[in-house]
């Protein structure tokens, strides 16, 4: 599969996941999909709550799903789909969570942002979206994983 085909497949998975968004308050549905190093794709959608601060963004749900499968370190890319006229980018909270995931993966995570009905995709890195990020190095940690082993 070519790079363009892989990106298209990931964006399509995010678009499909967007259909499962629970966004009765903002009415702003967002879908996300992460691709793991073995090609596995995990899709997710935003999940709002009447207590707005408890709402979950699609990107966070997708990364949490990868983590729940023990695969956070295998994330290599994420696609985000939402909005009508311009590609939507992850919010500040999601950017910080992507930064953490990138530290766990110990490799760059590509971020593909697209609109819902358009073929145009904008690619970002975590560093572009979150310069001067706070991370494990700021806490003196060598790894962001803790283990009970």
Indicate which residues carry an active-site annotation: 59
CA-to-CA distance for 98 and 122, rounded, in angstroms? 17
Integer Rg of the chain from CA: 15
Half-sphere exposure of 75 (CA within 13 A, CB side): 36
The Cα 130–Cα 139 span in angstroms is 18
Report residue 32 as tokens.
């996300």
Cβ atoms within 10 A of the Cβ of 71, count? 18
Asked if 147 contacts 113 with a C-beta cutoff of 8 angstroms, the reply is no
DSSP helix, strand, coil percent of the chain (3-state; round to 5): 35, 20, 40
């Amino acid at each position: 599969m070519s790079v363009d085909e892989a990106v298209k497949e990931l964006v399509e998975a995010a678009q499909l996941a967007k259909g499962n968004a629970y966004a009765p308050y903002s009415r702003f549905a967002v879908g996300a999909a992460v691709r793991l190093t073995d090609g596995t794709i995990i899709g997710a959608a935003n999940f709002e709550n009447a207590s707005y601060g408890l709402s979950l963004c699609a990107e966070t749900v997708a990364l949490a799903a990868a983590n729940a499968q023990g695969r956070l370190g295998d994330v290599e890319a994420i696609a985000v789909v939402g909005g009508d006229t311009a590609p939507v980018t992850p919010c500040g909270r999601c950017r910080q969570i992507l930064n953490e995931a990138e530290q766990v993966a110990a490799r760059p995570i590509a971020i593909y942002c697209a609109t819902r009905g358009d073929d145009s995709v904008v690619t970002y890195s975590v560093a572009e979206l979150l310069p001067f990020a706070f991370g494990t190095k700021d806490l003196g940690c060598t790894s962001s994983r803790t283990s009970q082993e």
